[in-house]
Amino acid sequence: MKVLVTGGAGYIGSITVEQLIQAGDEVVVLDNLYQGHRAAVHPAAAFVQGDLADRGAIDALMAAHRPEAIIHFASYTLVGESMQKPFLYLGDNIRNGLNLLESAAAHGVGKFILSSTANLFDDPERMPIDENERIVPGSPYGESKNILERILYWLDRTMGLRYACLRYFNASGASAERGEDHTPEAHLIPLVLQVALGQRADIAIFGDDYPTPDGSCVRDYVHVLDLAQAHILALRALDQGSRTYNLGNGQGFSVKEVIQVAREVTGRPIPARVVARRPGDPAVLVASSDKIRRELGWSPQYSDLRSIIESAWRWHLSHPQGYAGQASE
């Protein structure tokens, strides 16, 4: 299948591109390189540098490459930033998504995968969180994904567009060649590993008085290779209809557990300090992925925290400056 991957130079996007190519698909990557890295794009993928704000550029790409399906990662994704810049997230994320969808409809693309988010569940009534949980977005970022999910629902009903919304929890880990390199970095595991590399003095624990076994927040970490496989499985299943899935391991690990396992994996001390809670941080967020396991046979291959951190550590050791200085392919 010929697949357009927007944001295919980013963390999850580039590893999904890698896995699609290994599965025999033909891939076109569209990325503006705002957060992505040209060096992260698989050499077998066609690369187009462009912006989803430019409808003409999208139409030109569609006409030139004629994709059969789209996987849409490209987005502003920082929850905290979205609270400071709501128009950027509620504006650009939605407008750019509409530009892509309108162009897809005009060029006969009938399959669409949306990279959605666990930030739809700011106040869950049940744990673990399944697809029937009420939607309470936790930020303008989460709301932008919620609106795109609703747009896809109506495009299926009115135009027959087949879609999958994949709501993932904490993406983590690395493949052999591609890993996590954000500026600024906001995710716990790479931040912890930066301390191990001597690039940061310590790691902050935002509160240790939560109602959890060790007092620190508990999150569901899912390996990026397992996420990539979920995208591929969902893509193959779209002929049988649209669908929505929550993606996680189904088990939670605390901040303190992550730090301790990272110490064991790296053999380095990794100093930590407790600071005040961050406003809005829930004590526990864990996904139920029973639906995708049951319907598509998805089974995470890296379900334990140690294997996730080991894969990330291997990549960070071989790429201590991320993709900086790595030649583009």
Residue 124 has, within 13 A of its CA and on its CB side, a CA count of 20
The single residue of 11, 141, 210, 245 carrying the catalytic annotation is: 141
DSSP codes of every residue in 214-237: TSS-EE-EEEHHHHHHHHHHHHHH
Q: Are residues 233 and 302 both part of a single domain? A: no
Look at the chain and report how many structural domains it folds into: 2
How many whole angstroms from its chain centre is CA 218?
A: 18
Please check the confidence at residue 180 and state whether its pLDDT lies above 90. yes
Q: Are residues 150 and 200 both part of a single domain? A: no
Please report whether residue 163 resides in a domain: yes
Q: Are residues 116 and 194 both part of a single domain? A: no
Give the rounded percent of residues in the chain with a pLDDT score beyond 70. Answer: 98
Question: How would you class 104 by CB atoms within 10 Å of its CB: exposed for 0-12, middle for 13-18, buried for 19 or more?
Answer: buried
Q: Are residues 238 and 270 both part of a single domain? A: no
Q: Are residues 28 and 104 both part of a single domain? A: yes
Please report whether residue 324 resides in a domain: no
Please report whether residue 236 resides in a domain: yes
CATH of the domain at 301: 3.90.25.10
Q: Are residues 79 and 207 both part of a single domain? A: no
Please report whether residue 329 resides in a domain: no
Please report whether residue 149 resides in a domain: yes
Q: Are residues 295 and 207 both part of a single domain? A: yes
Q: Are residues 111 and 199 both part of a single domain? A: no
| 118 close to 133: Cβ distance less than 8 angstroms | no
Q: In whole angstroms, what is the distance from residue 132 CA to residue 90 CA?
A: 24
Please report whether residue 112 resides in a domain: yes
Please report whether residue 180 resides in a domain: no
Mean pLDDT of all residues in the chain? Answer: 95
pLDDT digits (tens, 9 = 90+) for 22-80: 999 999 999 999 999 999 999 999 999 999 999 999 999 999 999 999 999 999 998 88
Q: Are residues 128 and 231 both part of a single domain? A: yes
Q: Are residues 192 and 148 both part of a single domain? A: no
Q: In whole angstroms, what is the distance from residue 76 CA to residue 56 CA?
A: 21
CATH of the domain at 160: 3.40.50.720
DSSP codes of every residue in 77-121: --HHHHHH-HHIIIIIIHHHHHHHHHHHHHTT--EEEEEEEGGGB
Please check the confidence at residue 208 and state whether its pLDDT lies above 90. yes
In this prediction the pTM is 0.96
Is residue 141 annotated as part of the catalytic site, yes or no? yes
Please report whether residue 283 resides in a domain: yes
pLDDT digits (tens, 9 = 90+) for 278-306: 877 889 999 999 999 999 999 999 989 99
Range of the domain at 272: 188-219+251-318
Please check the confidence at residue 222 and state whether its pLDDT lies above 80. yes
Q: Are residues 99 and 27 both part of a single domain? A: yes
Please check the confidence at residue 329 and state whether its pLDDT lies above 50. no
pLDDT digits (tens, 9 = 90+) for 118-140: 999 998 999 999 999 999 999 99
What pLDDT sits at residue 103?
98
Q: Are residues 295 and 212 both part of a single domain? A: yes
Please check the confidence at residue 328 and state whether its pLDDT lies above 50. no
Domain stops at, among 230, 247, 264 = 247
Give the rounded percent of residues in the chain with a pLDDT score beyond 90. Answer: 92
What pLDDT sits at residue 211?
96
Closest to 220 in 3D by CA, of 165, 283, 274, 280 = 283
Q: Quick count: other Cβ atoms within 10 Å of Cβ 276?
A: 8
Place of tokens 């992260």: 40
